[in-house]
Amino acid sequence: MGFAADIGPAFMMMTAAQCESLGISEDDLVAQSLANLIARAERVVPGDVIREQNGEAPIAALQTGLAIASALVLVPDQVARLFGPTPAILAAPMRDLLLALPADVDPELAAWWFDVFASQDPNHLPPILYRFDGRAIVPFAVGAQPSSARRLDA
């Protein structure tokens, strides 16, 4: 995991040396970053989630306008608040886009949706899907078995 300072049209990666020069610990950086994310997420309402039935499975999509949608995978309680507590497969193909498909959808279909959106953004995010069980989010690489992934609890 990495952290960056948003400096407008770009991000500046935060290194351990930068934290030291600023007089903050890496733990404080993590805590403040999550607090900032939650504060921004609380400005988003469940009605902002667009829900569509496309072919094989329903899909829900969120663009926040705050450039935080993809980072919501770090705060499962906010995912539950916005998308509902129903288990899902999540995909974050872009900085401000989070997709949710039914938990029982074929992961290859979720990966296809990831690719459809990622192909529109030259700065797309890595192809990682997430299993959301209503309380926790577990990342897994497309084509990988999720059982070995680290669990991100609420």
Tens digits of per-residue pLDDT, 25-60?
989 999 999 999 999 999 999 999 999 987 778 999
Q: CA-CA distances (angstroms) from residue 35 to 22, 40, 75, 152, 153? A: 18, 9, 10, 16, 16
Task: Compute the average pLDDT of residues 76-91.
Answer: 97
Whether the per-residue pLDDT at 151 is higher than 80: the answer is no
86 touches 134 (CB < 8 A): yes
This prediction's pTM = 0.83
Q: Of all helices (H) and strands (E), which one includes residue 5?
A: strand 3-6
Res. 6 pLDDT band, cuts 50 70 90: confident
With tokens 């899902």, the residue in question is: 88
